[in-house]
């Protein structure tokens, strides 16, 4: 019988990287624009700074995600290699270990031994990877996917406040960028919550709150230390 239930956990890998990238793109670029705008920078300098933030931020996100997820992938590979070696040299011990895991989850000893034996016969490494190591194929570390998702979504997120800044006048750039960026963040939080099956209002409020806090902080720094840039 075909399993027809729909689960959202397979979205976790790319969703985390995509949401993080877009969220950082909007927050960092809008905060950067607001910070230097309140420091009385010229319109051209504001746009130049925002563009530099978009490019450098995208590259930083890609590099950071790739290194981070690669480290996770290396750990998973090392664990699987060790498990493969143990299965080859200590098959009885590994079978007992798998049986113990199933007993801890509520199965009787006889049933746990039967399940462990059958799963071992089918694919011993897969059984140990899933039930002993917690490595699930849908959630495996994919460095390149994470890097591309983070960089791409950061660029898209950063482009939104930068586009608003391009069309806004010098007098309105701060309120326009702040309001539209908060709207973008709220929309992002709501969409991410919906895709992940979480509460939409909580997701929306959480992202918007931290975005507002970041923009307020940079605006304060810009006002405190700002100088007129000719």
Element of type H or E holding 201: helix 200-225
What is the maximum span of the chain, computed from C-alpha positions, in angstroms? 81
Single pTM value for the model: 0.67
The whole-angstrom separation of Cα 155 and Cα 55 is 7
Residue 227's pLDDT is 47
Contact residues for 78 (Cβ-Cβ < 8 A; gap 6+): none
Query: Which of 38, 50, 42 shows the shortest CA–CA distance to 224?
Result: 38
Q: Which of 33-47, 122-136, 161-175, 197-211 has the weakest average pLDDT?
A: 197-211
CB 218 within 8 A of CB 31: yes
Domain ranges of the chain: 10-85+142-179+200-225
Residue-wise pLDDT tens digits, 26-61: 988 998 898 888 888 889 999 999 999 999 999 998
Residue-wise pLDDT tens digits, 182-207: 888 888 877 777 766 677 888 777 77
Residue-wise pLDDT tens digits, 74-103: 888 888 898 889 888 988 998 998 899 999
Q: Say what percent of the chain tops pLDDT 70.
A: 85
């Amino acid at each position: 019988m075909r399993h027809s239930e729909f689960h959202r956990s397979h979205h976790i890998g790319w969703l985390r990287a995509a949401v993080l990238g877009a969220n950082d793109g909007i927050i960092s670029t809008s905060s950067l624009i607001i910070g230097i705008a309140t420091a009385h920078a010229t319109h051209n300098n504001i746009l130049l700074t925002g563009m530099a933030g978009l490019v450098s931020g995208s590259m930083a996100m890609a590099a950071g995600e790739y290194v981070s997820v690669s480290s996770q992938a290396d750990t998973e590979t090392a664990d699987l290699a060790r498990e493969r070696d143990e299965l080859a040299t200590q098959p009885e011990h590994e079978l007992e270990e798998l049986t113990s895991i199933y007993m801890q989850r509520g199965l009787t000893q006889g049933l746990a031994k039967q399940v462990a034996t059958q799963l071992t016969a089918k694919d011993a490494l897969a059984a140990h990877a899933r039930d002993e190591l917690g490595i699930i194929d849908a959630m495996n570390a994919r460095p390149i996917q994470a890097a591309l998702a983070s960089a791409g979504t950061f660029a898209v997120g950063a482009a939104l406040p930068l586009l608003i800044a391009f069309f806004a006048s010098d007098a309105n750039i701060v309120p326009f960028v702040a309001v539209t960026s908060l709207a973008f963040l709220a929309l992002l939080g709501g969409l991410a919550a919906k895709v992940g099956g979480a509460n939409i209002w909580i997701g929306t409020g959480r992202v918007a709150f931290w975005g507002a806090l970041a923009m307020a902080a940079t605006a304060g720094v810009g006002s405190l230390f700002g100088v007129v840039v000719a």
